[in-house]
Chain A
């Protein structure tokens, strides 16, 4: 198994043919390969091998159609050390097996920050409207990296088929607005996406300030530039029309980036 894995994981172009045949053999061994990966290949990895473990789990699960790789990961989670759990959760989030969402619920409040972040990611990877409340809860007190990850997942939840329904997403829009003024750019960036999805692209639901009536530089504490960024992410005709109207409210040095 070592030989198959090491050959399949190598990146050199000259090994392409061997790589392909070893990968085929690994996939053919199914459950045995999963067992091997979990037992032997989660530590002492080169960066390339780490990446290949993730790829291989994805291939084995065949976009979620094959369940045993996900079940094996879920089964292994309790026994592995904290250092390995984030990688397993990350792998679970990329496999396409929607049943793994519940694993995110299980680890969302774990002590380890890295584990919590990947658990949050899992909820975004397999989004359900019910996850929104869980992700929003505790968002304010989460460290920057977790705040960002939860917002990423919220963006996915609200962007999913049912996530932005008025009864689900709509009522949360107001709860996301504080993160538009977060001190971290990464958090603001993700909050904009989450809010745009939360509103389901419905320009009216967010309640953009009227550029002609608002007097201040920061309507509701949010800068015109952030409103502009939000409008451009929504990108619907009425949002873009609003951005044209609001252009004059941007500082001249900022305006040229949006309207060259």
Chain B
């Protein structure tokens, strides 16, 4: 049923040709070409370090954003009957626009031709060890230690520190800049294709072990698995059929059943590996010590849980965080609870962090940089296959720069870079089915900052999206934010710079394919461009209701900044819709002639 639904959605997406329709319905009739919408600064001085090709292409050619959403769905679902995440296809997405292009391209080429994960062979174990050793050897141990400390400060400690005065903050900023310069300089020395190769081989080994248990059953399967692991010369840690308490830092761990407790701590060294398979029971995964970073820091960590209502309790840099490494969690069934603080539930920074939960009514809770977040050269993915899920970013870190009563979220399909310097990565939250609830505050739900791509894809179900600012398809400061909902009667609520808003040469797109949807915003939303940005709200079908406190700044609005117009496009293609006064069904509107206005255009067909 779910598979059929997914297929239907995929066909609908490509049939919709939604941006082609925008071209026909809005651009051409108003003598606007796609090349007019090139968002790159006309006087850009130098390329942005660590910029990804995918993001730069979108900023140059916003019309490819439709292809981006479709491409990601294909990438995630491609050739996988069981819809298991395929690391290969994710690595390829991290292709840099310029420098270091060779490294990731090589990784992509080496992975592109193989089938899913590749087949495991015993000799692969030496390849795994050798690749990880080489990768870890690119930096000295002390440099890895510094990387770990700096990364923690980036994504955890600094955000918590609101006690500094203005001068203290500046000093801290300058210090942080020095440290970040160091971090990025060292990152240049890493050759990620070694990491990619190890991850690919490890995923193949993990799959081979899973296959053994699937085919032979837990008891005989354990014996076969043991043989494979020992033959490969890897450390073998078996569990029993009853409830076990495992203390894990690395190696290969298999537990055939029982309600287990997994206490997982990174070993603190680069080049480590962890393969963990839990075959049954209601399990608890605990991150007892965060000082040594994520299990996937500088190495590869792959966790698979076959069934049961499980709890994943993390703090910072959890099980599905890839920081200069790969962290992958796959949970195949059960109503699961994921709870963490910072940089968890699909977080990638110079690496891949993937959380895939294939079924069940799941609950995701975190505080910052979580639920599909990508930092520089990183990809964070949270992929939920079905069930009525709840995604929440808790109000923990006050958004000190703007508010006293709102909180930074930076999650749920979010990517960010280091503004005016290093580019961001790719953050994706993909939910395939179910009636879901998304709650966040500032920066969330398909949003990005400084040359990143944030993507929220929800295929089916009547969903509710709540945020306050920079959310729901918001690209901020030369970044791309896309929110894409396939079907269901959805509710979108945010205050501003949301619901298809591009700010400061950013691209924001909110695309709604089907359903009777409701949109509520205050200003600068619903197809709004600010400071030379491009925002689009495109709704294809259904009887929709649009509510705006300041309608003149919504529903197709563009301001004028740096003496140039911004672009805001609104398009509703079907149904009798409800609008604020001044907007009409079956008509068009545009703002002309006002000195402070750019290009704001709307169309209801």
Contact = CB atoms under 8 A, between A and B. Distances in A.
Nearest to A239: B593
B30 A225 contact: yes
Given A145-B43, A189-B565, A260-B584, A229 B592 contact: yes
Given A18-B166, A184-B36, A257 B43 contact: no
Nearest to B170: A6
Main secondary structure of the interface of A (DSSP, over half): helix
Contacts of B231: none
Nearest to A7: B166
Interface residues of A, number: 46
Interface in A232-257: 232-233, 235, 251, 253-254, 256-257
Contacts of A186: 36, 564-565
B505 to A, nearest CB: 13
A47 B563 contact: no
12 contacts: A6-B170, A18-B165, A18-B166, A47-B419, A185-B36, A225-B30, A235-B593, A254-B29, A256-B587, A257-B590, A257-B603, A258-B590
B402 interface: yes
Contacts of B403: 13
Interface stretch (A54-62, A113-121, A170-178): A113-121
Of B30, B32, B166, B401, the most chain A CB neighbours within 10 A belong to B166
B493 to A, nearest CB: 24
B28 interface: yes
| CB-based closest 7 A-B pairs | A260-B587, A185-B36, A145-B42, A257-B588, A7-B166, A256-B588, A254-B29
A256 B30 CA distance: 11
Nearest to B400: A12
A257 B404 contact: no
Nearest to A143: B42
Nearest to A49: B170
A15 B309 CA distance: 47
Contacts of B170: 6, 10
Nearest to A5: B170
Given A7-B167, A11-B402, A186-B565, 10 more contacts: A47-B419, A86-B43, A121-B563, A189-B565, A189-B599, A229-B592, A232-B592, A254-B30, A256-B588, A260-B584
B420 interface: yes
B173 interface: yes
Interface residues of B, number: 38
B43 A12 contact: no
B581 interface: no
A13 B403 CA distance: 7
Interface string A9-46: 01111110011000000000000000000000000001
Given A152-B563, A253-B28, A46 B587 contact: no
Contacts of A145: 42-43
A14 B593 contact: no
Contacts of A229: 592
A85 interface: no
A160 interface: no
B33 interface: yes
Nearest to B560: A189
Contacts of B31: 185, 188, 223, 225-226
Contacts of A253: 25, 28-29
Contacts of A47: 419-420
Contacts of B595: 193
Interface string B164-194: 0111011001000000000000000000000
A47 B166 CA distance: 16
Given A83-B45, A185-B31, A257-B590, A46 B173 contact: yes
B589 interface: yes
Contacts of B401: 11-12
Interface string B558-588: 0000011100000000000000000010011
Interface in B144-182: 165-167, 169-170, 173
Contacts of A188: 31
A233 B593 contact: yes
Given A6-B170, A257-B588, A260-B587, A13 B402 contact: yes
B601 interface: yes
Nearest to B587: A260
Of A2, A47, A152, A185, the most chain B CB neighbours within 10 A belong to A185
B82 to A, nearest CB: 46
A113 B36 contact: no
Contacts of B32: 185
Nearest to A152: B563
A144 interface: yes
A204 B58 CA distance: 44
Contact of B593 (A3, A86, A152, A232): A232
A251 B29 contact: yes
Contacts of A251: 29
Contacts of A86: 43
Interface in B538-559: none
Of A6, A46, A149, A260, the most chain B CB neighbours within 10 A belong to A260
Nearest to A186: B564
A226 to B, nearest CB: 7
Contacts of B601: 257
A50 B400 CA distance: 19
A158 to B, nearest CB: 14
Of B170, B401, B404, the most chain A CB neighbours within 10 A belong to B170
A12 B601 CA distance: 34
Interface in A78-119: 83, 86, 113-114, 117
Contacts of A18: 165-166
B599 to A, nearest CB: 8
Given A47-B419, A229-B592, A254-B29, A15 B564 contact: no
Contacts of A223: 31
Of B32, B401, B563, B564, the most chain A CB neighbours within 10 A belong to B563
Interface in B474-498: none
A98 to B, nearest CB: 19
A7 B164 CA distance: 12
B43 A114 contact: yes
Contact of B42 (A144, A193, A257): A144
B436 to A, nearest CB: 33
A185 B590 contact: no
Nearest to B567: A185
Contact of B166 (A15, A113, A258, A260): A15
Of B45, B165, B592, the most chain A CB neighbours within 10 A belong to B592
Contacts of A254: 29-30
A256 B401 CA distance: 43
